[in-house]
Amino acid sequence: MSRPVIGIASYLEPARWNIWDTRAAVIHESYVDGVTAAGGRAVVLPPDDRDADVLDRLDGLLLPGGVDLAPHHYGQARHPETDTEQRLRDAAELLLLRGALDRDLPVLGVCRGLQLLAVVHGGSLHQHLPDVLGHTGHCPREGVFGAHEVEFAPDSVLGSVYGRRARVNSHHHQGIADAGPLRVTARAGDGLVEGAEDPAHRFVVGVQWHPEVSGDHALFARFVAACGRPGLAPATPLTPLTEPAAPIGAPS
């Protein structure tokens, strides 16, 4: 029996290998590993803003982390700290996400993916968290992950995966200001939204942290299981993270 087929949105970046030095459609291998380890078949989707018909051949959609979503998509002017717009990536991922929601296709959003979910649901973002929170704990510096505790709503997908609390990694300078009609199901100690879900769909979940980097495959297992078609063997459940941790604070 075939595995659930999970599309992972990729993006265009300069890359070098063998004799080549050119732009390539890339995605961090850890996303592929997370899907594969949970029993899914990963398919990498290059950015394409023409249509979302590929979704008719998929069982689920994973939207990864990456550069900031252009703020005009949620009615704001660009903050000086906001990344330069990647128009094709924004257009392609927004098209895929709206198409997946229309089809009730399971969706997992990671970091930027959570922010896309909020914006598509009519919400908005904080463009630079230190301006709002007064600390850089969610991204100590570029390329360095922070870590903090997250508390989960007990009657939620994330709560059923992680328990009441878990310690997660953190590398983002933007965050959810308004989640729209999404249900916020995880928050950091400073009140920032760390996870949200859309109960109107069979599985639409976004998280602000990076489970693919930490090697925590519990959420991938739940996602791939939700993508399973009738007759497919279920994904193997993994042990959730439940150990307590200290709340987030300003870095020393």
Q: Kindly report, residue by residue over 113-139, the tens digit of the pLDDT.
A: 999 999 999 999 999 999 999 999 999
Query: Which residue, among 147, 66, 53, 162, has the nearest Cα to 114 in the 3D structure?
Result: 66
Pick 239 or 161 by higher pLDDT: 161
Encode pLDDT of 86-119 as tens digits: 999 999 999 999 999 999 999 999 999 999 999 9
Burial class (CB within 10 angstroms; exposed 0-12, middle 13-18, buried 19+) of 128: middle
CATH number at residue 12: 3.40.50.880
Q: In which band, very low, low, confident or very high, does the pLDDT at 233 lie, cut at 50, 70 and 90?
A: very low
In this structure, is residue 120 part of a structural domain?
yes
Note if 212 is an active site residue. Answer: yes
pLDDT level of residue 12 (50, 70, 90 thresholds):
very high
Using one digit for the tens of pLDDT, what is the confidence trace for 45-61? Answer: 999 999 999 999 999 99
Active-site choice (93, 111, 139, 217) = 111
pLDDT recorded at residue 44? 98
Mean of the per-residue pLDDT values for the chain? 91
Instruction: Write out pLDDT tens, residues 70-82.
Output: 999 999 999 999 9
Residue 144 in domain? no
Q: Specify if 238 maps to a domain.
A: no
Looking at the domain assignment, is residue 53 inside a domain?
Answer: yes
Average of per-residue pLDDT across 12-40: 97
Percent of the chain with pLDDT over 90: 88
Q: Is residue 237 pLDDT above 70, yes or no?
A: no
Confidence of residue 230 (pLDDT cuts 50, 70, 90): low
- Is residue 158 one of the residues assigned to a domain? no
Specify which residues 144 forms β-bridges with: 141
CA distances from 30 to 111, 153, 220, 235 (A): 14, 27, 11, 18
Percent of residues, the chain, with pLDDT higher than 70: 90
Asked whether residue 229 carries a pLDDT value surpassing 90, the answer given is no
Residue 135 lies in a domain: no
Q: Which of 149, 212, 217, 227 is catalytic?
A: 212
Of 152, 162, 158, residue with least CA distance to 188: 152
Query: Is 97 inside any structural domain?
Result: yes
Q: Check residue 1 and give its pLDDT.
A: 52
- Of 126, 148, 210, 217, the active-site residue reads 210
- Which domain range does residue 179 map to? 5-127+174-226
Inform me whether the pLDDT recorded for 252 exceeds 80. Answer: no
Extended strands (E) in the chain: 5-9, 11-17, 20-26, 41-45, 60-63, 107-110, 124-126, 146-152, 165-170, 175-178, 183-188, 193-197, 204-207
Does the global pTM surpass 0.85?
yes
If one counts the domains in the chain, the total is 1
Q: Identify whether 240 is part of a domain.
A: no
